[in-house]
Chain A
Amino acid sequence: MRERTDRPTRPGRAGATDRHEPAGPDIAEPVLAIEDLTVTIGTRRGPARAVAGVDWSVRAGQTLALVGESGSGKSLTVLAATGLAPRTARVTGRVRLLGEELTALPEPRRRRLRGRHVGFVFQDPMTSLNPVLTVGRQVTEACEEHLGMTRRQARERAVELLDLVGIPSPRQRVDAYPHQFSGGMRQRVVIAMALSCEPDLLIADEPTTALDVTTQAQIVELIADLRRRLGTAVVWITHDLGVVAGVADTVAVMYGGRIVEQGPVDAVFDAPSHPYTRALLAARPGPGVRDGDLPAIQGSPPSPLDLPAGCAFWPRCPVRGDARCEHELPPLVPVAPGHRVRTFYPLSEDA
């Protein structure tokens, strides 16, 4: 529950609209930019460096896909950037939301900015929904607070939002409870809730992982459409490379808490230069690999408690360069404009 004292002094949506008419996307300030973000979590077995030295930014109307396996730090990066990391986490680095340095702000102000400008969609819609409140109340709870709406305005807005996300007969459904919706419809409600304050940034953390493929296709299409119409910046966290190919403008691949490869989606898929990215793409079954074994990556992703000194992928790496890989952390180096990779041995396109 949010505290009522955090209601912004600014009335209505004033101030939120003028930002959408900048001098063009090239010179526009990124909606969210993080620099050298590091997250250390205290555990019973000592501090775990779950995220280290992560840099990226996302602009209005663009989608950044954060890709990685469990323990790669992809979700924690975003939670820490938006001030939602667990209490035991120590977060360092710089995070700028709409040009404002978040890490320097006191928590109440940060929370207000987050509530007003960032929408969240998580994997399991029921973690975001309260089972005892009608969906209409929940969809606009944040609007009432951040935009200073009355109950009547909020209800009208809820109907509008449910319609926007494709819920049939929204005027009737606005008074229904979450359990009366299917999984896909619940996720639509959560998206409506995330969009209620017209956020500049939408964080989608595995939003389709719990859904069937036909529903996933609907949700992917819905978010892509809303992004186009509303100019929202999207950070999409996923482990599904197919979803990445369909939604992303830029991609950051994470492994062992660090970015190992990042760049425009075409560059990363056409010319994956990190052995991990390439192996991950190759290990997917697809037409043409019916006979014979899949080129699997041996071993499992590392635990943040047990990271190698050098390259985190070294123990599983098919290239497995030399002693330097084992002991020295490779820097993130450019291989093409906007395309960077963290390895001493970047693979060339036809390798």
Chain B
Amino acid sequence: MTADPAAPAADPGETVADPGEIVAELDNLRVWFPAPGGAAVRAVDGVSLGIRRGETLGLVGESGSGKSTTGLALLRLVDATCGSVRVGGRDVTWWSRRQLRGLRRRVAMVFQDPQASLDPRRTIGASVAEPLVVHRLVDSADARRRRVAELLEMVGLRADLADRHPHELSGGQRQRVGIARALAGEPDLIVLDEPIASLDLSVQAQIMNLLRGLQRDLGLTYLFIAHDLAAVEHMSDRVAVMYLGRIVETGTPEQLYGQPAHPYTAALLSAIPVADPKVERHRRRIILSGDIPSPVDPPSGCRFRTRCPQARPDCAEVDPVLVEVAAGQWAACRYAGEAVRAMRAGTVGEETVH
């Protein structure tokens, strides 16, 4: 990684040696958008998380949970209402447009729909070269071409695709181009926002393998935002579950998928269909009633209580904070663990799905 002269914290020699180094950090971040009538859509409402160098942090949640807005905040593509965003040890929350150009080299993004994120009139080569030009990373047209070819090969594409246009490529190839472009600035962190959601099933595995291979070879750090919980489990070293603008549980995939402590995590996991008809026939599913409430007017106390099968009267009064329920596993539920056990016990003997 080439050090940004404006960033004293980034010494490429040291960073690899320190596995605990925090690449990016959100502290009590709130992102509120104005809503009609003077109200606010509280898309992100008090999120704190740190992403360590070389790891993949999975961020899961339903639509409206604020997971994409959280990703955008790391690139300062949305402004914080309060709280802070730190990248490479420096507070970038209020950086100016000019300063942000440096930030956007250090934090790159891959979007869900590669069709929409690539300019249809430009060649693949021109799209991949854009960060090289903007950040002045190459000094000649020849160097640019060589670097584009190298980037395309890194993502498993032939270098001669540089002369093609996006419509000549398949969906999987276009997503590879999106990844090549994200790699161009040698970023410290790549935010992957639903990178496989719009791809065909047989292509999703290719892209997951590619992302993991690149991470291995280049020591990349990912924030992997997805609603596909099986993909998140496969990709992530740690997972954070969001609900209505808050993180409700974090831990390793083994902890969350094996012993979820928050009732929402348990319900979310039980809703994922398993590709085995025998399992599906006999499994007990926790079906949540209703929809995620409006982020304009979130419920008092615990935000999940309106849909929680184990809600108690005092859940309406106290807003739970994240507490450590096992080493490295945190849950924001006053009845963490206990509520999940009760939910699971409660489904025994009920009619099973299907």
Contacts and interface: CB of A to CB of B under 8 A. Distances in A.
A244 interface: yes
A182 interface: yes
B230 A286 contact: yes
A83 B199 CA distance: 29
A242 B283 CA distance: 13
Contacts of B136: none
A47 interface: no
Nearest to B279: A245
Given A242-B275, A269-B275, A212 B63 contact: yes
A224 B206 CA distance: 33
B194 interface: no
Nearest to A181: B291
Given A213-B271, A214-B271, A266 B206 contact: no
A69 B200 contact: yes
Interface residues of B, number: 48
A17 B173 CA distance: 52
A298 B200 CA distance: 12
Q: Provide the main secondary structure of the chain B interface.
A: helix
A216 B205 CA distance: 23
Given A213-B229, A214-B268, A245-B280, A296 B205 contact: yes
A242 B353 contact: no
A345 B171 CA distance: 29
Contacts of A214: 62, 267-268, 271, 287-288
B200 A300 contact: yes
Contacts of B200: 69-70, 239, 300-301
A289 B205 CA distance: 12
In the complex, which of the residues B203, B209, B233 has the most CB atoms of chain A within 10 Å of its own CB atom?
Answer: B203
A246 B280 contact: yes
Nearest to A284: B275
Interface in A283-321: 283-287, 289-290, 293-298, 300-301, 316
B170 interface: yes
A281 interface: yes
A243 B276 CA distance: 9
24 contacts: A184-B291, A216-B273, A217-B273, A217-B353, A218-B288, A220-B353, A221-B353, A224-B354, A241-B201, A245-B274, A245-B279, A245-B280, A246-B354, A266-B277, A284-B201, A284-B275, A285-B234, A286-B275, A293-B212, A296-B202, A296-B208, A298-B206, A300-B200, A316-B202
Interface of A: 69-70, 168, 182-185, 212-218, 220-221, 224, 239-248, 265-266, 269, 279-281, 283-287, 289-290, 293-298, 300-301, 316
Interface of B: 62-63, 170-173, 200-206, 208-209, 212-213, 227, 229-231, 233-235, 253, 257, 267-268, 270-280, 285, 287-292, 353-354
Given A213-B62, A215-B62, A296-B208, 20 more contacts: A69-B201, A69-B202, A70-B200, A212-B62, A214-B287, A220-B353, A240-B273, A245-B274, A246-B274, A246-B277, A247-B354, A279-B202, A281-B275, A284-B230, A287-B233, A290-B233, A293-B213, A294-B208, A297-B205, A301-B200
